[in-house]
Each structure stands twice: as structure tokens, then as C-alpha cells.
Amino acid sequence: MDQDGTQRADGRVRETTPARRMRELDRAEALRLVATVSLGRIVFTQHALPAVRPVNHLVEDGNIIIRIHDDGALASLVAPADVPGVVIAYEADVIDPDTHLGWSVVVTGYASPVADAGEADRYAELLRPWVAQPMAGVLRIRPDLVTGFRLEAEGTRSASVARGRP
């Protein structure tokens, strides 16, 4: 059987996949779920091409906050002070590799530097970098478009899924 429970070409039978449904998330629930995890992927333009980098984040007041370091690809996201920021997309998810249940959220908006030194220092303390490199600053992503979905077993909604886990 293939992934939907039919017989496979080699003759072996695979267990039928449980029925799932995809439910759209509203903005508030989507951002709440992003706040339950510390890892996401930022999508930006580098040398006129799309680039994706995993980064750690936090969510505060509906904004996504990330750190950048001096020589990293994300340093190119620091926009001049006279523009609203650089357009980016940000994705975070929790999908169980066995059941394929969970959620995914994509945020599109503007990334701009956190200009207030005290605020930037506070965020720098809250965000733990993955590598020991000097940090150049902190970016605030202001979500303009927030889309998300949850993959659920048909007819169920477990407490663990409600907490952000598949």
C-alpha cells in the first residue's frame, strides 16, 4: 500500500494512515503557537535569491524577535533608518514525524532593527545564540500577514495538540 493505505508495488501492505483534517488557524492562535517554540526559519533575499536560515526567536507583543551577528547572512536585513524594514517571511512548526499531526505557521512582514539599546540588551539576554559569535543586534519582525494550519486526527483534538505539540 502507498501512504494512503493501498498496496505497495513490492506487495507488502502498509498500515492505513489515520484520517486527518487541516484546520486554518486565526492570527492570535498562530502567534500563540509560534511563541511555544524557540526555533523557526527566516526567509529573506540574499544576492537577489531567496535564502532560508534557522534561527531562535521569542514572541513579544505580537512581534517575533531574533538576534543577528556581524558577519552572518542576516546582517543584510538591517535596513536604513528611513525605511520601514526589509520584507521577510518567518516559519515555525511542530509536526510529529510519525503521525504527521501538528501545526505550521508562516508570518510575512517587515524586519527592522531594535533601536532602543535597553530593549535590545534585554532581548539579547532572553535569546540564546546557537554559536559563540559576537551579536550585532536584534531584529523585530512585525507580522503583516499571518497564516497557519493545524493537522489533526479526524474528529479529535488532544490536549497536547492544544498546547502546541502534535
Q: What is the pLDDT of residues 148-160, one digit of tens each?
A: 999 999 865 544 4
How much of the chain exceeds pLDDT 90, in percent? 52
145: nearest Cα among 91, 103, 95, 102: 91
Q: Is residue 7 part of a domain?
A: no
Q: Is residue 77 part of a domain?
A: yes
Across the range 113-139, mean pLDDT stands at 85
Contact 105, 146 (CB under 8 A): yes
18: nearest Cα among 148, 132, 127, 154: 154
The predicted structure's pLDDT at residue 156: 58
For residue 2, pLDDT beyond 50: no
Residue 48's pLDDT band, with cuts at 50, 70 and 90, is confident
Domain assignment of residue 48, given as a range: 20-162
Name which of 14-28, 68-82, 113-127, 152-166 the model is least confident about: 152-166
For residue 69, pLDDT beyond 80: no
Across the range 27-38, mean pLDDT stands at 97
Across the range 61-84, mean pLDDT stands at 75
In what helix (H) or strand (E) does residue 46 lie, and over which residues does it extend? Answer: strand 39-46
Structural domains of the chain, count? 1
Kindly report the number of other CB atoms within 10 A of residue 92's CB atom: 25
112: nearest Cα among 76, 139, 81, 80: 139
Cα→Cα distances 60→31, 39, 126, 133, Å? 10, 15, 11, 24
For residue 84, pLDDT beyond 50: yes
Q: Is residue 27 part of a domain?
A: yes
Q: What is the model's pTM?
A: 0.78
Across the range 62-81, mean pLDDT stands at 75
The predicted structure's pLDDT at residue 38: 93
Where does 8-144 have alpha helices with state H?
Answer: 27-34, 117-126
Identify the CATH number of the domain in which residue 106 sits. Answer: 2.30.110.10
Cα→Cα distances 75→1, 51, 69, 117, 120, Å? 48, 13, 7, 17, 15
Q: Is residue 61 part of a domain?
A: yes
Contact 138, 9 (CB under 8 A): no
